[in-house]
Structures are given as structure tokens and as C-alpha cells.
Structure 1
């Protein structure tokens, strides 16, 4: 046993290296190729033509990019406030209720739909002559004007994501030791004070995971926007992911679309890094 252990330790990198190289290749090769294309003029047919940073200079002068950034920020803020915030609220309010699991079931059902399916269900409802206008007795173009259309899609996104965030927070509540909560109740803490000073600090590790996942998902929002509005009317509801898709596969400008993809990757990575760094502190 004593002679085999050093041998295993000596060659442990050799066991891990093939899998690590495979994963690194699958993850980084597409990004490096995209980064290269972002410095070229490429239509998908002729060989790429090197242009340097021209595509990134074009990004700075593109008014549609500013709209995409604004809408993406709306998605980030809205996701933090609505699906995450409401998910935490539902989890806390239903946790101590008798039969609370049954109260959470209706919130979980929409999660079975994909983003594309969600768009197909809600697009006719929110259309100008849809059910929403008829029920509310109004004449509102929910998916026409900006930023109203982005807010409408955020509410649809909340309808889908609320259940899974609630479930994650319930798991966090169940993992909290009972002793600190019981001790706080004996000391007279209840309601908001119990949640603010006892439950919330104990849930911070899980909250960091939930918020981190929601942050990344909101930055790369694509499917629901594409199905419901295709970034329109015009380009007033585009996100960065939709802009990347339209420039690459609709306009066949692979170089410019790759530049948008690099920008989206950098923004997502930087936001994730800053958030995780703050959580570590």
C-alpha cells in the first residue's frame, strides 16, 4: 500500500489530463475561433479577410448596440428583482405552512416549458388583439413599444422561472440548522427580524448560487425574445444575444456577429467575476 500510493500520486495528472484537454478543447476552441473571426470580414462563404479591430470600432458607432445593452441591463435588473426576489418571498412564506409543498406546485408547472414554448404560448396572449387586452379592457400594444415590450417579456420570464427559484430557496431553508432559529425565537426574534438577522445570513451561500445562475441566464437571454418579438419592432427589444444572432445568421456578417459575441462573453465573464469576488469577500 505504501509503495503504490506515491506511484498513484506521481501519475495522477496523467489520469486527469485526457479529460481536461478534451473539456478545454470543447470550451475554448470555439471561443478562440470566434475571437479570430471578430477581427475579420467573413460572410461564411469566402475565406475570412483580416481587418483588425474594425468590427469593434463599428460596435461603438452602432445605435442598435446601445439599445441591446439597455435591454440586457433591464433583463439583469428585472431578473434579480422578479424571479429571484419573488422566489425567495414565496419560499419563505410557504415554508412553515402546513401543506406548503402543495402551494408551490402551481409555481413549478411553467418551468416545464422551454423559452421557445413560453414565447409561443404568450405571444398571442399579449398581441394587440390578444386575450390580455380583452380581459383588462385596455388597448395596449404590449409587444410593440420599448421598453414596455421588454418588461412584458420579463413578466413572462418570471412566470416560468419563479418556481425553480422558489424550489432552490426552499432547499436552502431546509438546510439551515434548527438550533439558531429556535434560539432566536426564544430571544424574542420573529417575522422580519428573524429573517433579516438569522435566516438570511445562513442562506447566503445558496443565495449566491441562485443569483449567479440568474445573472448569467439574464445576460444571454435569447430564445424568449426571438420567439416573441425577434428583437423588434425594428430593433427596440433586442438583447446582446439577439443582436449577435441577427448579425451572424440573418445578415451573414460573421465578423461583426463574432465581435458582438466576444463583447457578450467579456461582459458575462466580468459580471460573474465581480459578483463572485464580492461574495467571497
Structure 2
């Protein structure tokens, strides 16, 4: 009886899971396959796609705006690792195991309630040429008009929003660390930087891998805050790869060329994630 029931149970499980698998495949994989196909065509959204092979990718490699987008995207990656992740770890460590530490972290969490678009709407007038920032600092700086100042300014705004969630994640990781190794290290005379470097940091390695991985992917596809604050300008000097993809696809209506940028962004994100995970191993 058991031998007969096992195949039936297996088929039941497969039938139970199949609708969800098909839904995920339809929502995730089918659009990517369609985008990959469009990247090999000339398509403006009106006439049927015309097959052109790798012409879009050749054109993409000759586009000077691509180098600017890659440079800015790399700045976003480096800035995200140093600022939201690094400062989040610092705030979590400073508020760890002290009285009122949870309340100390609350102000850093509040900006995370804003979306990237809302963040841009709030900070754009502040950082404009006649905005509050120039008046408070007593300077005359075009924060959003010149490169690389505009990318750096947006990175600081991004840090203001993302600092809280990274702090929370690191705080949870610190609270999950067993107390015994830390107490033993303190008995041996370890404190401050030595305690963090040789005891706390190694114990937080699994969580750090998750936080850095999430930040890496988010920085590679940064779009909404850039589009709202500068729209990639002026002169496309603050574009990231995600903004380039959006502009070429939905503004210029070059769906084939924009799809090529999307494929390139997907490959870059996947390769960066693979290299990071491989390095972690």
C-alpha cells in the first residue's frame, strides 16, 4: 500500500507546486526572454520588430554615454559600500549593549519610510542652486548641476535613507551573537577595536554577506532617486545604467537598444553577484 501511495503523493506534490512555478516563470523568466529577443531587433513599439542581430550591442559599446553610466554606477557601488553599509555597521556597534541603544537607532530608521521617488522630491529643492543647503553652508555650489558633485550629492541622500535599515540589520546580527565568546575575550583583556576586529566581526560574517549582497544589487540598479533628482542630467552626466536603460527605452522609444542596455545591466549584476559570492566562499 505504501509503495502505491508514494507515486501518487509525488504527483500530488508536483501538481500542487506546478501553478506557482508556472506563475513565477511567467512573471520573471518570460519577460527576460522577451527582452533578450528585443535586444537583437530594431523596434520602436509600433512597427513589428526587425531582426538586426548584435547591432544594438555594437552601437552600445560605441556610445560615449555608456562609459559615463558605467562610471556613475561604479561610484554608486563604491559609495554604497562605504556610506550606508559602513556607517550602518558603525551606528549598530556604537549602540550595541548600551542602555537605550534601541532608541538611539530610531532616528536613523525614520527616513527609510520614504520611497526613492519621495526622497528625490524632498531633497531636490534643498540641493538646488538657490536651495536651503547653499544658504545654510554659505556657499554657491551647484550640487546637482556638475559631475561628479551630483552623483556624490545623491549618494549622500541615498545614505540618509538607507542608513537606518542597514543599522537595523547589523543590530539584529549583533544581538544574535552568543555572549560567551565576547565575555571570554573581555576576560582576556580584549576591548574596543581588538574585541570588534577579532571576535565580533568574524561572528557577524554570515549577516554581513547578506547586507553587502543586498546593497550591491541595489546600487547596481539605482534608478528612481537619480531620475527624480536629475533625470540623469545635465547632459547625461549623472546617468546610471538603469537610467540609461529607461531613457533609451521609454523616452527615446528605442525598445531594441534599450533592451540591449537591460541585458547588459542584468549580465553586470549577475556577474558582480557571482564574483561576490565566490569571494565569500
TM-score tier by shorter-chain length is over 0.9
Secondary structure, in 3 states, of the residue corresponding to 1:28?
helix
The CA distance in 1 between the partners of 2:67 and 2:244, in whole Å, is 11
2:173 alignment counterpart: 172
Q: Answer yes or no: is 1:15 the counterpart of 2:22.
A: no
The CA distance in 2 between the partners of 1:214 and 1:117, in whole Å, is 20
1:269 alignment counterpart: 270
Give the CA deviation at 1:25.
2.0
1:192 alignment counterpart: 193
The CA distance in 2 between the partners of 1:53 and 1:130, in whole Å, is 46
Q: 1:8 to 1:190 in 2, by over 3 A?
A: farther
1:84 alignment counterpart: 85
2:49 alignment counterpart: 48
1:147 alignment counterpart: 148
Deviates more, 1:126-135 or 1:8-17: 8-17
User: Deviation per CA, 1:20-50, whole angstroms, max 9, x where unpaired?
Assistant: 2221221110000000000000000000000
User: Deviation per CA, 1:148-196, whole angstroms, max 9, x where unpaired?
Assistant: 1000000000000000000000000011011111111111111111111
User: Deviation per CA, 1:55-95, whole angstroms, max 9, x where unpaired?
Assistant: 00001110000000000000000000000000000000011
1:246 alignment counterpart: 247
1:222 alignment counterpart: 223
Q: Which runs of 5+ in 2 are unaligned?
A: none
Runs of 4+ residues deviating >2 angstroms: 1-18
User: Deviation per CA, 1:204-255, whole angstroms, max 9, x where unpaired?
Assistant: 1011110000000000000000000000001000000000000001100001
2:6 alignment counterpart: 6
Secondary structure, in 3 states, of the residue corresponding to 2:247?
helix
RMSD: 1.3
TM-score for the superposition, normalised by structure 1 = 0.97
2:164 alignment counterpart: 163
Secondary structure, in 3 states, of the residue corresponding to 1:263?
helix
Give the CA deviation at 1:276.
1.2
